[in-house]
Copies of this chain bind each other. A is one copy, B any other.
Amino acid sequence: MVQSLLYISQLKFTLRKHSKLETTILHAKKPLVVSSTNIANGSQMASSGLEWKVNVPVEALVNEPAVAKRVYTQLQGLILKILMHIARFLEKARNVATSDPRKVIHGVKVGMALSLVSLFYYMRPLYDSVGGNAMWAVMTVVVASEYSVGATIAKAFNRVSATFLAGSIGVGVHWIANQCGEELKPVILQASVTILAAAATFSRFIPSVKARFDYGVMIFILTFSFVSVSGYRVEKLLELARDRVSTIAIGTSICIFTSMLLYPVWAGKELHNLICKNLERLADSLDGCVTEYFKNNEENISRKHEGYKFVLNSKAGEEAMANMARWEPAHGRFRFRHPWKQYLKVGATMRSCAYCIETLSGFINSEVQAPELLKKHMKEVCMKLSSSSSNVLKELAITTKTMTKSAKTQFFVQEMNFAVQSFQNAFNNLSKQAFLTSEHEEDDEKTAQGAKKVPIMAIFPIATMATLLIEITERVESIVIEVENMAAQAEFEVVNH
């Protein structure tokens, strides 16, 4: 589809080139005729000999067929531009579809749910049973069909409970208004709508309401306005309410069943996978950064270490998923009250580690580099420290993925602590070999002990690298603690390999 469109646009472009050529020929014809009269009038201009100036009256060229041609050309250009835009859009759509085919499946699911609910219009017994209010079922399906099961359930719950609540209050207010007589009735109704709508709208700014009941509050205002205002005309208020509740129930059940039964996307599972993936990304980034720092300049720069950037930006996504996941019933290996909030804590410690890696990666291509001698000396211990930290992260990713408690984690943590120790020893040994000095002093000067002098500024990059790596190990340890809390709360299985 995209290719055929691109082909069409190429064809159009060729056509346009041809039509331009034609216009040029057409323009060229006219000037020659006009210029021949001009030469007679301006012969003194020609007297200079070799130089000829041909005065072309521009208006003369623009005759009607040429204008039509130009408009035609511009139109062609416009169409071409639009086609290019469409082609680019389809290209983007194809990328989205190939990167996650479940998004296409979601589209098909919504289409199916809608065609299912629209049967209420086509089948007379169904249509009559809901008193012609089938519209509300269609509306419910359209607005409550969300990508993940949790979001669908949240919207469905919000819609049903808010409609019910607002309907009851609306009927109550109506009854009160009726008792007060025909004169006061519109005043009471109007005032109640204004006050309740204002209060409900304000409540959407309260974080706890916003996170869970934002949609419900909107539906509450909507339903309450409908009931209390339209009741002024429609006499069969309770019947209307009954029909609306039943159509919404039909709509929500269709939504929930299609989202849960056909290729369900569970927000909880997505969050779980995101946390696993981010742990792996952190491990890879850490390895990648340190390898990048110590490798020779000739080698290619890999982009593998940029995974931490995903971690930096995953806060909003994690929170949204955790909010949806709490609505989901037990699925797969997750029970109903799985500790989703704990996942957010793990996410926060991971981001804190990612900040450090971001700072570290800033030094990789820094201009101030440690001298080769120091680099060589430190390469092994630095690599060891970073790989022991990333081993811990990888092990955490595995335990999270398999939902098991493994004794290996503590082993890797101890190995990491041991690496920190030997790292510090290596620095102490370094200072036995080399004394640091100002860069203004002579490089070959030797101290009394015969140790070699190194400019003090030269040790800065490596000292920073060291401090950052040690800081990262500390932050990795806080990830370990939060993951262990998660394992305890979610009752991960204990496995002894």
Given contacts A108-B198, A447-B448, A464-B468, contact A206 B138 (CB under 8 A): no
> Is B463 a contact of A460 with CB atoms below 8 Å?
yes
- Asked if A492 is at the interface (CB within 8 A of a chain B CB), the reply is no
Which residues 229-252 of A sit at the B interface, judged by CB distance below 8 A?
229-230, 232-233
- Asked if A427 is at the interface (CB within 8 A of a chain B CB), the reply is yes
> Is A201 a contact of B106 with CB atoms below 8 Å?
yes
* A143 to B439 alpha-carbon distance, docked (Å): 68
> Is A427 a contact of B448 with CB atoms below 8 Å?
no
- Asked if A190 is at the interface (CB within 8 A of a chain B CB), the reply is yes
Given contacts A448-B447, A460-B463, contact A115 B439 (CB under 8 A): no
* Cβ 8 A contact of A222, one of B142, B226, B312, B359: B142
* Cβ 8 A contact of A456, one of B138, B205, B427, B460: B427
Q: A456 → chain B, closest Cβ, in Å?
A: 4
Q: A216 → chain B, closest Cβ, in Å?
A: 13
Given contacts A142-B218, A232-B122, A359-B359, contact A438 B431 (CB under 8 A): yes
Interface size range on A against B: 35 or more
Give the residues in chain B near A461, CB-CB below 8 Å: 467
* Cβ 8 A contact of A197, one of B100, B114, B466: B114
Stretch of A67-75, A90-98, A169-177, A296-304 on the interface side: A90-98
* Cβ 8 A contact of A201, one of B107, B139, B203: B107
> Is A428 a contact of B447 with CB atoms below 8 Å?
no
> Is B438 a contact of A428 with CB atoms below 8 Å?
yes
Please give me the residue from chain B that is nearest to A108 by CB atom.
Answer: B198
- Asked if A432 is at the interface (CB within 8 A of a chain B CB), the reply is yes
> Is A193 a contact of B118 with CB atoms below 8 Å?
yes
* Cβ 8 A contact of A431, one of B232, B456, B475: B456
Residue contacts A-B, CB under 8 angstroms, 27 given: A89-B208, A92-B207, A93-B202, A93-B203, A96-B205, A107-B200, A110-B198, A111-B198, A114-B193, A114-B225, A135-B230, A143-B218, A145-B201, A355-B355, A356-B359, A356-B362, A363-B471, A427-B456, A428-B438, A430-B456, A431-B436, A431-B455, A431-B456, A459-B459, A461-B467, A464-B467, A464-B468
Beyond the given A115-B190, A431-B455, please list 12 additional residue pairs across the A-B interface where CB-CB is below 8 A: A106-B202, A110-B221, A111-B197, A111-B201, A114-B221, A121-B233, A143-B222, A352-B358, A359-B468, A362-B471, A428-B439, A428-B457
